[in-house]
């Protein structure tokens, strides 16, 4: 492999070249670190860069190969880790000034598994504070910018992760998703991001919103995401919600094609709306799958009511509890992002929640989502109602009354239900900003999602922004 092209290569290609001794893991890492040095000042994607540790990990991979030992399926692949995920000995600040000096004492299970697979952790990517906004800024790290247009947000809360992958600063980024935080920035940045079924990838230490939290990859390619999922999925006793069932063969799904697959296209879920340019690109991509052998049909909106109130209670209610612990005084509260304070205060203003009503809404949302998959094998929707917002804007114009996440109408329901979901880029708006198509599967439907994403990838190869 030519070093001059290594930043354009997939994770699978890099690992294969390193394992064949065509290139060293150290040379790969130095090449990516050079690119990070060049681009990071423009996009501000790293909360913490761990260059020396990454080079040491790369050297270890090379040493194993020299001794005829296999470092693993991600040998020498640079990976960033979102700053909500623990990496032992590295600052884990959650994008918050309140936790600026916090250092993780343990690796998260997914990070342990990346290490065992030969990946090299290059640093911690930026996040909105406590993962609480769908755009990319935090009080601690400032504004992260979108490589397609630096005056636009990359989305959030996995802002740095998606921006790094889009800018080819890393081939793989490990991210989290509690209401769309993998899919939102993947859509805004024109990359592929997937959250598997709830519990497929263990989450530990516990998230601030444990009933909604997922860990998953953002990548340049569907195959890379399947490869990373194969590495990080599986039971871990530290996370009681992690699944005991065997990990599916995600890579095998990529070769199955779409013949006989029933795909439902749904332009709205029963509330909210998407811009015309978004709808046009997503609908066109959906119907194109007929030529790949799928049976495509348009579905009626599945939800009678917006599940936002139930999601907000589980998400901002729990984050509010975390903030009460971290910032008990008014002076400490002033250090918190204003949009986060507002969302928590709005929830508190409603008084004691009607828990029975919210539980009924969650159950209704679950039942209606399940009913969709009695008719189709995969559900397609827009990932987002809009393309990337200007930096500094928390809620899209025309969507007043929504908070800093629940304007993302299409993503958060599938955190409530735990269904696997992904975003794949399918076009651009008139300003050249990416548009994402959301792909949702039944509970054990990661394979179906990957099949569909692989087919879309053949029709719409992932583009890269021109960075000069």
Catalytic residue positions, numbered: 82, 157, 181
Count the helix, strand and coil residues of the chain and give each as a percent rounded to the nearest 5. Answer: 40, 15, 45
End-to-end, the C-alpha distance of the chain in Å comes to: 23
Residues β-bridged to residue 217: 174
Nearest-angstrom CA–CA distance, 29 and 137:
27
Query: Do residues 152 and 388 lie in contact, with contact meaning Cβ atoms separated by under 8 Å?
Result: yes
In which region does residue 323 sit, left (phi positive, over 0), alpha (psi from -120 to 50) or beta (all else)? alpha
Nearest-angstrom CA–CA distance, 465 and 163:
11
Buried b / exposed e along 155-178 (16+ C-beta atoms within 10 A): bbbbbbbbbbbbbbbbbbbbbbbb
Residues β-bridged to residue 379: 264, 440
Query: Do residues 198 and 418 lie in contact, with contact meaning Cβ atoms separated by under 8 Å?
Result: yes
**H/E run at residue 325:** helix 308-326
Pairing of strands 295-298, 214-219: unpaired
Rg (CA), the chain: 21
Pairing of strands 172-177, 78-82: parallel
Could you give phi then psi for residue 296, rounded to 5 degrees?
Answer: -105, 135
- Strand, helix or coil at 313? helix
Q: Tell me how crowded residue 326 is: count the other CB atoms within 10 A of its CB.
A: 17
Could you give phi then psi for residue 166, rounded to 5 degrees?
Answer: -60, -40
Query: Do residues 412 and 308 lie in contact, with contact meaning Cβ atoms separated by under 8 Å?
Result: yes
């Amino acid at each position: 492999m030519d070093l001059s092209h290594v930043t354009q290569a997939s994770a699978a290609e890099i690992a294969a070249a390193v394992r064949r001794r065509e290139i060293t893991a150290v040379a790969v890492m130095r090449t990516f670190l050079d690119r990070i040095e060049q681009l990071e000042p423009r996009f501000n994607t790293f909360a913490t860069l761990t260059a020396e540790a990454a080079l040491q990990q790369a050297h270890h991979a090379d040493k194993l190969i020299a001794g005829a030992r296999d470092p693993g399926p991600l040998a020498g692949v640079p990976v960033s880790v979102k700053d909500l995920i623990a990496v032992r000995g590295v600052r884990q600040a959650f994008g918050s000034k309140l936790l600026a000096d916090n250092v993780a004492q343990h690796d998260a299970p997914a990070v342990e598994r990346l290490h065992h697979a030969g990946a090299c952790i290059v640093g911690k990517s930026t996040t909105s504070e406590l993962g609480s906004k769908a755009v990319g800024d935090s009080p601690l790290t400032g504004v992260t910018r979108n490589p397609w247009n630096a005056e636009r947000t990359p989305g959030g809360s996995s802002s740095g992760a998606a921006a790094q992958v889009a800018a080819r600063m890393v081939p793989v980024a490990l991210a989290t998703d509690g209401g769309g935080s993998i899919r939102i920035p993947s859509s805004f940045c024109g990359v592929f991001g997937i959250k598997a079924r709830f519990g497929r990838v263990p989450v530990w230490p516990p998230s601030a919103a444990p009933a909604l939290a997922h860990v998953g990859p953002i990548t340049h390619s569907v195959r890379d995401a399947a490869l990373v999922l194969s590495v990080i999925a599986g039971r871990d006793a530290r996370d009681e919600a992690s699944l005991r069932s065997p990990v599916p063969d995600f890579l095998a799904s990529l070769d199955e094609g779409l013949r006989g697959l029933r795909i439902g296209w749904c332009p709205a879920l029963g509330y909210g709306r998407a811009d015309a340019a978004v709808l046009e690109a997503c609908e066109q991509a959906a119907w194109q799958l007929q030529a790949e052998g799928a049976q495509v049909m348009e579905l009626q909106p599945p939800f009678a009511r917006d599940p936002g109130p139930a999601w907000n209670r589980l998400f901002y209610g729990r984050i509010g509890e975390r903030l009460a612990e971290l910032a008990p005084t008014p002076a400490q509260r002033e250090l918190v992002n204003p949009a986060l304070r507002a969302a928590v205060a709005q929830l508190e203003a409603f008084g004691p929640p009607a828990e029975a009503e919210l539980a009924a809404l969650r159950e209704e949302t679950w039942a209606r989502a399940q009913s969709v998959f009695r008719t189709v094998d995969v559900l397609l929707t827009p990932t987002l109602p809009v393309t990337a917002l200007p930096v500094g804007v928390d809620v899209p114009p025309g969507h007043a009354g929504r908070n800093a996440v629940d304007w993302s109408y299409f993503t958060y329901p599938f955190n409530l239900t735990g269904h696997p979901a992904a975003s794949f880029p399918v076009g651009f708006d008139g300003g050249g900003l990416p548009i994402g198509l959301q792909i949702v599967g039944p509970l054990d439907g990661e394979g179906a999602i990957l099949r569909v994403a692989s087919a879309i990838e053949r029709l719409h190869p992932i583009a890269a922004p021109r960075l000069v």
